[in-house]
Chain A
Amino acid sequence: GENVEQHPSTLSVQEGDSAVIKCTYSDSASNYFPWYKQELGKRPQLIIDIRSNVGEKKDQRIAVTLNKTAKHFSLHITETQPEDSAVYFCAALTGGTSYGKLTFGQGTILTVHP
């Protein structure tokens, strides 16, 4: 089955710096890669996603890149703000015989210091 590895597990940056979180996946049939943000005590919420026919997608300060050949994708947050502090999860949606199965990474705790 699919295996998603996420790094780093914790990330600490100063306000205004950039933050990068990386994920690798194992199943070449995976074709959809969302990123979720979970604030303390709250539910995960989608912040950006990318499909396998796209290499990069940007939404204001957030961008995601996908390298299908290497089977990795990354989340980039520029000009970080204290409200970006949260746990971030990457995920991969499997195609093929396990259609509909969403596998998450282990999560990255991002702390933005004012």
Chain B
Amino acid sequence: EAQVTQNPRYLITVTGKKLTVTCSQNMNHEYMSWYRQDPGLGLRQIYYSMNVEVTDKGDVPEGYKVSRKEKRNFPLILESPSPNQTSLYFCASSLGSMNTEAFFGQGTRLTVV
């Protein structure tokens, strides 16, 4: 089954404790991206990657890191999480960056206390 898989689905952590949210897709998609969803603000792009080893900042990259060492994986890293990073996070992939449907993962609900 074609899908985008994120882990974990839920995470509660403490300020400053490094964490990684994994994202994997099995559709051989070139383009992957991370979004955070906050009430009233919609979906805001954190980082995106147009291919392996190619990443770029979205609208809200501060406090986040990503890597794209393999085509299928695009982990989101929070080196020192803070409470303002409490949010619902979505990973998405698409065949290309242009004009194609984005397939979203199930979402990761992150709480930083």
Contact = CB atoms under 8 A, between A and B. Distances in A.
Interface in A30-62: 31-32, 34, 36, 43-46, 49, 51
Counting chain B CB atoms within 10 Å of each CB, the highest count among A6, A46, A105 belongs to A46
Closest 10 CB pairs of A and B: A100-B97, A43-B104, A104-B43, A106-B42, A104-B42, A46-B101, A107-B42, A32-B99, A44-B104, A100-B50
Q: Name the prevailing secondary structure of the A interface residues.
A: strand
Interface of B: 31, 33, 35, 40-45, 48, 50, 56, 58-59, 90, 97-99, 101-102, 104-107
A93 B58 CA distance: 12
Given A106-B40, A106-B42, 13 more contacts: A6-B42, A34-B101, A44-B104, A49-B101, A99-B97, A100-B50, A100-B56, A101-B58, A102-B45, A102-B102, A104-B35, A105-B42, A107-B43
A114 interface: no
A43 B42 contact: no
A105 B35 CA distance: 13
Q: Looking at B40, B41, B42, B104, which has the most chain A CB atoms within 10 Å of its CB?
A: B42
A18 B49 CA distance: 38
A44 B101 CA distance: 11
Interface of A: 1, 6, 9, 31-32, 34, 36, 43-46, 49, 51, 89, 91, 93, 99-107
A7 B70 CA distance: 39
Contact of B98 (A46, A91, A93, A106): A93
A24 B41 CA distance: 15
Contact of A43 (B48, B58, B101, B106): B106
B48 A101 contact: yes
B43 A44 contact: yes
A82 B9 CA distance: 28
A82 B3 CA distance: 27
A102 B90 CA distance: 14
B99 A93 contact: yes
Contacts of B107: 43
A100 B90 contact: no
